Amino acid sequence: MEFNDVIIEDTYAEGFPMWVARVIITAVTKEWAHRAATEATGFATSTIGCPCEAGIERFVPPAETPDGRPGFTILICCGKKALKEQVLERVSECVLTAPTTAVFNGRAGSEEVIPIKLHFFGDGYESKLEVDGIQCWSIPIMGGNFIVEEEIGAVKGVAGGNFLIMGDSQMSALVAAETAVGAIRSVPGCITPFPGGVVSSGSKVGSKKYKFMGASTNEKFCPTIREKVIDTEIPENVKAVYEIVIDGVDEASVKAAMKAGVQAACRVPGVIKITAGNYGGSLGPYKFFLKDCI
């Protein structure tokens, strides 16, 4: 298949279930909401080595937030048990501490409800108040009062959406990856948790040479050793590969994100081929076909 003269491999990305909570963070300015959201979603690229996967979903204009202030929604994704701790810790340490912020339930779903009982921080000086019909707590802090809705809904979402961008130069693939991530930002319900949304170092399970390693470089997708790897997946004219990984609140969000991302990547000159990663269906129940992206 082709799209805009780019080869689209007839394959699919394989997704699997992961729990997802959405938190709305508002602040006095867009910039301060963004700073809190950035801190709260850092060190969260992959559950392999980070305590969760997290990212900023989208900007929410003042007219759409509970308190009429600018905000951002973030998604926090991981196993059900770890999720409670991660939502609590990241809100406590990175949002409560940030100037002028308030926190509301982003209503990803109500399959699970995560309590974040921050009002105890108020040491008895806290009080209840209603914001736009929502029951919240107001906690006196140095900067004023911190407003928080204490129950954050969570849903069994979808992780592992992905596609790989192969370029005729490292910079072609890199700019295509950046553009794809930008396009995905306009799709509600999903995030790209890696740095700047892009994965540079794809891995395989285990290692052939170092038995103590749980994962190692996926040599079949490494362009610089193309000639040393018999079963390389790198076409002759490809100099670099970047992967976009997508987590979402449901299958439809991830599907829409893949479509937006693949099409945007194919608009960048020098992109040779798009493919996707799967484990033949052994990893998870969701299949995102590249043929549905074009």
- The first and second tokens of residue 36, run together, are 């809190």
Residues 6-25 that bind a second copy (CB under 8 A): none
* Segment interacting with a second copy (CB under 8 A) among 8-16, 105-113, 236-244, 281-289: 236-244
Nearer residue to a second copy within complex by CB, 62 or 79: 62
* Segment interacting with a second copy (CB under 8 A) among 12-20, 66-74, 107-115, 154-162: 66-74
Minimum CB separation of residue 133 from a second copy in Å reads 16
Residues 141-200 that bind a second copy (CB under 8 A): 141-146, 164, 167-179, 182-183, 186, 194-196, 198-200
Supply φ then ψ for residue 281, to 5 degrees: 95, 0
Does position 30 interact with a second copy (CB under 8 A)? The reply is yes
* Segment interacting with a second copy (CB under 8 A) among 8-16, 42-50, 151-159, 278-286: 42-50
Does position 210 interact with a second copy (CB under 8 A)? The reply is yes
Spatial separation of the C-alpha atoms in residues 131 and 237, rounded to whole Å: 57
Spatial separation of the C-alpha atoms in residues 92 and 102, rounded to whole Å: 11
Considering only residues 11, 45, 73, 275, which one is a binding residue for a second copy as defined by CB under 8 A? 45
Does position 232 interact with a second copy (CB under 8 A)? The reply is no
Minimum CB separation of residue 250 from a second copy in Å reads 20
Does position 93 interact with a second copy (CB under 8 A)? The reply is yes
Residues 262-291 that bind a second copy (CB under 8 A): 263-264, 267-270
Q: Is the dihedral of CA 282, 51, 149, 186 positive or negative?
A: negative
Minimum CB separation of residue 69 from a second copy in Å reads 5
Considering only residues 8, 74, 131, 240, which one is a binding residue for a second copy as defined by CB under 8 A? 240
- The first and second tokens of residue 39, run together, are 């801190």
